Amino acid sequence: VLSLLLTALHAPASAQTSAMAPDIPAARFELPVPGADYVKQVAMIPMRDGVKLYTVIVIPTDARGAPMMLTRTPYNAAKRAERNVSPHMLSMLPEGDDNFIAGGYIRVFQDVRGKHGSEGEYVMNRPLRGTLNTTQVDHATDAWDTIDWLVKNVAQSNGKVGMVGSSYEGFTVLMALADPHPALRAAVPMSAMVDGWRGDDWFHNGAFRLPMLNYFATQTTARGNAPSLSTGVYDDYEFALRAGSTSDYARRFGIDQLNFTKKIFEHPAYDSFWQEQAVDRVLATRPLKVPTMHVVGRWDQEDIYGPYAAYAATERMDKNNDMNHLVVGPWRHSGVNYQGSTLGPLKFNGDTAAQFRRDVMQPFFDQHLRDGAPKANTAPVLSYRTGADQWQKLDKWPLSSKMQPVYLKAGFALGQGKPAGGAQFDEYVSDPAKPVPFISRPVRMHDAAVWKPWLVSDQRSFSDRPDVLTYVSEPLTAPMKIAGAPMVNLFASTSGTDADWVVKLIDVYPDEVSAQPEMGGYQLGISMDIFRGRYRQGFDKPLAVTPNKVERYRFELPNADHVFLPGHRVMVQIQSSWFPLYERNPQTFVPNIFFAQPGDYRKATQRIYHAPGMESAIELPVY
């Protein structure tokens, strides 16, 4: 046998390969990467319940005593570790990993259980062990078991691990903090999904985000990549309108059969299902053990609520104000990992994202992960002040708790001082057959170039619609600075029995902007959100509205840190739909809006009051 083998191996060069020789070798063919500056290994890491998780470990060739940086993802670990095919880590790994690579870190990506290469079952928002999860595993145990394996098996490491990740990957970072492995020394959750009901991906204040149906399809119809919903209609506004209610829309594609869709449809209000899995509430009950830097974009179009909530929940435990940090940059969702010099038409002071990664995040990680690294000069809060275009180091967030109301007034005016005289209210007809679009039509949810920066898109397209009320101040003579979450205090009635209220705080640029002419008169959204009227007495208490009765609607808008400059004006827009980002409120109270019937969708006359004792206002956190 041996001599036969030797003969085959040393066959003369002229010997022909049979035409029928199989072209794919029976044994796995390892393609070498000549000149690679890394070694890539794949491990199936066993969890405590025997399930193995697919993990890619990228080790710099010269690594010795190197820290490890872990990301746990539902978005395909193999792909996350291969942005480009290249022998160089810098080209191969994600753009935002630039400083980890420069710092010689070992980079680890892992598929969460049930996705892509990992075994086990996928649960989209897997709750921590407890009443909602009676198994022995969750994202905290999976992170724990993974870190335990890494420190015992990656010989080139120094036994210290950091975790980083944005959005879903930020959610898995936060989950690891619920019961952290001792080797987990620092964490940076970015744009993390924290509370899917209050103000992150699934709902905002009870209003469901319709495009999420497509996310359910792509994420939960298959373990690997799954296709998007195919509507056959170019304009997503048109398609969603024709589809009817959210359940009608889901039924068309059969995705009402998916468990995650069912969970959403069964829990339209903020019941114990949502409350018990809100990550900020969970973390508030656990000791703060790991230095953490919460990161979010000022115009984060997906998770603008959670990072502040998670920071606030854990901040109470940070006795010396040196373990729990907040960073807010002028970014879109996950924008921290890409170029940060512009967003839509806005231009910032250099590449704010690269600055943050190099000058703030990397020294923070190094301090905690690299043996002998110096202490980083990490501020408790680092906030990019929009309008003034400057980074600010702060001791706390929110900076201001002093609220100054700006009142809506007769004649569509806006200003300090309670309204005196004039009309008592303004009204508009909200027609569910013609909802107000959230961006100009045609709406293409798949067009990343439109979706990613949509929160900074010009609100001028909506200010003159008859179903949008627009109040505007005089041009400012001095800067007006706000830092915190504006509070809406609306006195409103509807002729229906339920209604949505969308309130937008806007910075109106001067008529002419010499440095950037296309910004003349631009209406820039500073803080905007939606509130479902049925929850005015409690998010877990949906209640019908009495037609035409004036009621108070009080809710927080997203955090802002902004300077309205002299010559700019302050604007407030109010409307009752924001479609198709948010499903329509039928404006007739039904037990569950997901199942509204065609006849429930009715026009309603909405009135916004600016009368004595009913002074509608936005309270601004001025300083």
The answer to whether the beta carbons of residues 340 and 352 sit under 8 Å apart is yes
Output the CA torsion sign for 115, 119, 121, 126.
negative
SS3 state of residue 487? strand
Q: Which is nearer to ligand PG9, 168 or 555 (CB)?
A: 168
Q: Give the Å distances, CA to CA, from 226 to 161, 168, 223, 232.
A: 32, 17, 8, 18
Nearer to ligand PG9, 179 or 302 (CB): 302
User: Please, what is the minimum distance in Å from the beta carbon of residue 208 to ligand PG9?
Assistant: 13
Q: Shortest gap between Cβ of 136 and ligand PG9 (angstroms)?
A: 24
- What is the closest distance, in whole angstroms, from the C-beta atom of residue 495 to ligand PG9 in the complex? 36
Residue with tokens 């915190």: 484
Between 105 and 168, whose beta carbon lies closer to ligand PG9? 168
Q: Which residue is nearest to ligand PG9 (CB)?
A: 167
Closer residue to ligand PG9 in complex, CB, 198/568 = 198
Report which of 451, 272, 207 is spatially closest to residue 344, judged by C-alpha positions.
Answer: 451
Q: How far is the CB of 452 from ligand PG9 (least distance, A)?
A: 11
501 vs 491: CA distance, rounded Å:
11
| Least spacing, CB of residue 367 vs ligand PG9, in Å | 28
Q: Which is nearer to ligand PG9, 303 or 561 (CB)?
A: 303
Q: Which helix (H) or strand (E) holds 177?
A: none
Q: Please say which residue, 81 or 212, places its beta carbon nearer to ligand PG9.
A: 212
Helix (H, G, I), strand (E, B) or coil at 376: coil
Q: How far is the CB of 166 from ligand PG9 (least distance, A)?
A: 7
In three-state secondary structure terms, 306 is helix
Cβ–Cβ < 8 Å for 274, 127: no
Q: Where are the beta strands (DSSP E) in 271-379?
A: 292-297, 324-329, 342-343, 346-347
Q: Which residue has the tokens 């009227």?
A: 533
For residue 463, the minimal CB distance to ligand PG9 (Å) is 29
Taken in order 230, 530, 314, 526, the sign of the CA dihedral is positive
Please say which residue, 220 or 386, places its beta carbon nearer to ligand PG9. Answer: 220
For residue 73, the minimal CB distance to ligand PG9 (Å) is 9
Q: Which residues bind ligand PG9 (CB under 6 A)?
A: 167-168, 171, 193, 201, 215, 302-303
Q: Which of 320, 370, 313, 355 is nearest to 186 (CA)?
A: 370
The nearer residue to ligand PG9, 215 or 273, going by C-beta atoms, is 215
- The DSSP code for 191 is S
